[in-house]
Amino acid sequence: MQRSRKRKQISSSLKPLRTTASCRSQPAEDPYSDHPRPTFEECRSVRDDLLFLHGFPQEFVKYREQRLQMGLRESQILPNSGECGENESVLDGLIRIVLSQNTTEVNSERAFGNLKCAFPTWEQVLAAESKGIEDAIRCAGLAPTKSSCIKNLLSCLLQKKGKLCMEYLRELSIEEIKAELSHFKGIGPKTLQKDDFPVDTHVFQISKTMGWVPASAEIKKTYLHLNQRIPDELKFDLNCLLYTHGKACKRCSNRNDGGLKKETGDRHCPLLAYRNHRAAEK
């Protein structure tokens, strides 16, 4: 597939999110291990094509910048002591991340300050009425959702560890941290900035249409297969772009249309070429 000079410039400006060899955990079993696609080159090409078409989705820019700037251990989840003028706990850092979702840094920091002012300890937050927490963090947006997430996190932590403290995470490896935090409701892959490739309905349908998984593939097995085939350094960008494309190009993710169409609104859909590639293999 030919690319324009402009798209090459966009692609060359992207730095890898993380190196592949050093960051992989012990691989899970691939249910479609005999299915050779997608290849590394194909993943990179699709990422570049969708990036040129859509630009990088604004709703994920903040998380992408965080990934480019720091690794998991240096992120908010394991904050350094002395940050914000005092020793900040791991739990503080995780609550900050919850509050930062879908809002600006200024608003999330103000919400965290309001929360700590209203309820100086996490024990007080857990004991508080949801309405009081919502009022404190309202400037960060999605107050009911974030309040519920915080309460669930604290409740689960108390039940699991007997106290509201997550300092034990500092002694764990990065993969162990990911596994531990995945047990808490509301703390998902994008929150954790982990090298993961979630599969929603848009990603699932497009992957099947392009032939990245067998036509009879199941969504859970698709998740396992794609996380084995897609390089870690491409997972975040590619997932965000496929999700965005699936929403913007309804024909691509329509399970009733029999496959990709030629147009994305008024623009040519670049994924048509990959469908043609699949057809040529048959």
**Looking at the annotation, which residues are catalytic?**
190
Tokens of 9: 């410039």
CA distance linking residue 136 with residue 132, whole number of Å: 6
Cis peptide before 120 (omega within 30 of 0): no
Looking at residue 245, its amino acid is H
> Rounded to 5 degrees, what are φ and ψ at 227?
-70, -20
Full DSSP string of 76-106 = TTSPPTTGGGSPPPHHHHHHHHHHHTTS-HH
Residue with tokens 């090459």: 8
3-class SS at 30? Answer: coil
CA quadruple 244, 249, 250, 251: dihedral positive or negative?
Answer: negative
- Helix residue ranges, H only, 119-200: 122-127, 130-137, 143-161, 174-181, 189-192
Beta pairing, strands 263-264 & 267-268 = antiparallel
Helices (runs of H) and strands (runs of E) counted in the chain: 16, 2
